[in-house]
Amino acid sequence: MSKFLNLSRAAKLIGVPRAILQQYVKEGRLESFDGMISTESLLAAFPESKFEEDPVFERITRIKEESFGKRIRERILPDREVLSARLYEQSRELADYRRHLERYHAIVVEAQEKLRVISSARPEVADLAKWLDHELGEALVTEAPDALDAMENYLRIVSAHVRIEPSGREYFVDGADTLLEAALRAGIAFNYGCSGGNCGLCKARLVSGETRQVRHQDYILSEAEKRSGFILACCHTAVNDIVIEALEAGQPEDIPVQEIEVKVKSVEQVGAISRITLQTPRSSRLRFLAGQSVYLFDQEYPIASCPCDDRNLEFHVLPNDVLSRLQKGETVLLQGPYGKFVLNERSGREPLFIASETGFAPIKSLIEHAMALDIYSAIMLIRTSHDGYLSNLCRAWESALDNFDYVETEEIHAALPDLAARDVYLAGPAAFVEEMKKSLMAKGLPASQLFTPSGA
């Protein structure tokens, strides 16, 4: 029996970006009814999906995490109570199916009996009775278990779907994540502060579905807020598919400047640059948008990691830079975020990233964020080849993701795709940015589609 799924769940199920399914629907290669997709048409459009051999739930997340070079999180199952609530809901649904099936079965047996009684006098009824017996026998023998359906049931136990109002953004809460952690991982700029149940800034209103508190909270919601369905996203998880009302940071100005004492977690030499990772205290993480910068020792540094990991902040610097002399365990005062070099998520155009030297730092942050958002069907990165640090990472992205193209060249102009449907994000040394800016605009790129750290 075919089941109807929303676009996000269908994309998660077969492990392709949501944008690719949208494109399939637009091109008529995948049928959709009121925004829902049947498992039958999904399987017809993606027949190569091998669910039993390649558990889809793991696939895309694992690819992304491996290619981002991040610690692979243990596959933690949801909290025990959340798990039992989800299992209970599925059992109830199964019991419902079983009840219907038994009822239908009784009707069919009765119909067979009635046909048998009248078939002796009427040959056409005898044919009908024979046909019915044959079809029922075939259905019982040949109907294989629906792998897609089984995977969908499995996904509903290990993850829950969340829609945020009024933006309409959607994401999944996997494993033991809270609503806030899962939103950040999905590239959503959820409004928050302490991420530890103290400040109340992550307050959200539950519109439908069920949530459960999985972390301790000190912040006290008023009785009126509780009655209206308010919860703290950093302390709650979703039991089933839910809709919440929550604030999101749409613009850089929505995020306040923060001052945080951070610790040097690692200093690593990668090719000609130093890759520094600074870690914030657990209770005071840096809220920022991908592509933004911070101040350290009165100098501005772009963050090279994405906001989905708000504790570990990565920076790329040249060997003579003051940051490269830092030692593991040292403490540094960080101030930020600053800057407007952020993704133009609502433009509907595909992103083209162009980077040279340490200009790759903010570009890396933007790319990781673009991947987490899962809204693009074609992401392209062009880098100059002479400085190629972390090239392996870029190649890993390209081989892991169908929607990612990577080119390393000194002939950037020759590698440029059609610019009409692209937003271009450009970063690198000032002279490089100026020259590229001029030639991109000479090729007809409108200023409104060009973004640089200093403003296009």
The tokens describing 426, both together, are: 């450009």
Choice between 192 and 451, CB closer to ligand FES = 192
Choice between 30 and 289, CB closer to ligand FES = 289
Q: How far is the CB of 420 from ligand FES (least distance, A)?
A: 41
116 alpha carbon, distance to own chain's centre:
57
| 3-state SS class at 401 | coil
Give the C-alpha separation, 398 to 404, whole Å: 5
Beta partners for residue 302, in sequence order:
293
Kindly determine how many residues on this chain lie close enough to bind ligand FES according to the rule CB under 6 A: 13
Choice between 193 and 429, CB closer to ligand FES = 193
Tell me which stretch binds ligand FES (CB under 6 A): 99-107, 200-208, 258-266, 439-447.
200-208
189 contacts ligand FES (rule: CB under 6 A):
no
32 contacts ligand FES (rule: CB under 6 A):
no
Give the C-alpha separation, 247 to 191, whole Å: 5
DSSP state of 284: S
198 contacts ligand FES (rule: CB under 6 A):
yes
In 99-228, at which residue ranges do the beta strands (DSSP E only) sit? 159-165, 170-174, 203-208, 211-213
DSSP state of 305: S
The tokens describing 330, both together, are: 């040292």
The helix (H) or strand (E) run that includes residue 415 is helix 412-415
190 contacts ligand FES (rule: CB under 6 A):
no
Q: How far is the CB of 35 from ligand FES (least distance, A)?
A: 31
Choice between 197 and 339, CB closer to ligand FES = 197
Give the C-alpha separation, 174 to 61, whole Å: 10
Choice between 78 and 197, CB closer to ligand FES = 197
Tell me which stretch binds ligand FES (CB under 6 A): 16-24, 79-87, 191-199, 239-247.
191-199
Choice between 154 and 230, CB closer to ligand FES = 230
Q: How far is the CB of 179 from ligand FES (least distance, A)?
A: 10
Is residue 184 within 8 A of residue 239, CB to CB? The reply is no
Choice between 26 and 226, CB closer to ligand FES = 226
The tokens describing 322, both together, are: 């003051």
351 contacts ligand FES (rule: CB under 6 A):
no
Tell me the residue type at 354: I
Three-state secondary structure string covering 338-363: ECCCCCCCCCCCEEEEEECHHHHHHH
CB-facing half-sphere around the CA of 210: CA atoms within 13 A: 9
List the one residue from 15, 17, 78, 197 that touches ligand FES (CB under 6 A). Answer: 197
Q: Tokens 């592509």 appear where?
A: 291
Among the listed residues 144, 142, 70, 33, the one whose alpha carbon sits nearest the alpha carbon of residue 312: 70
Beta partners for residue 248, in sequence order:
190
Q: What would the x/- binding string for ligand FES be over residues 231 to 270, using CB under 6 A?
A: -x-x------------------------------------
230 contacts ligand FES (rule: CB under 6 A):
no
| Residues 6+ positions from 409 with CB-CB distance below 8 Å | 382, 383, 384, 385, 415
Choice between 244 and 382, CB closer to ligand FES = 244
Q: How far is the CB of 396 from ligand FES (least distance, A)?
A: 33
List the one residue from 187, 200, 307, 337 that touches ligand FES (CB under 6 A). Answer: 200
Strands 331-338 and 258-270: antiparallel
List the one residue from 173, 202, 366, 427 that touches ligand FES (CB under 6 A). Answer: 202
Tell me which stretch binds ligand FES (CB under 6 A): 14-22, 199-207, 350-358, 379-387.
199-207
List the one residue from 41, 195, 280, 384 that touches ligand FES (CB under 6 A). Answer: 195
List the one residue from 36, 126, 199, 415 that touches ligand FES (CB under 6 A). Answer: 199
List the one residue from 46, 51, 192, 376 that touches ligand FES (CB under 6 A). Answer: 192
Give the C-alpha separation, 262 to 17, whole Å: 35
List the one residue from 70, 146, 147, 219 that touches ligand FES (CB under 6 A). Answer: 219
Choice between 41 and 195, CB closer to ligand FES = 195
Query: Residues in the site for ligand FES, rule: CB under 6 A?
Result: 192-195, 197-202, 219, 232, 234
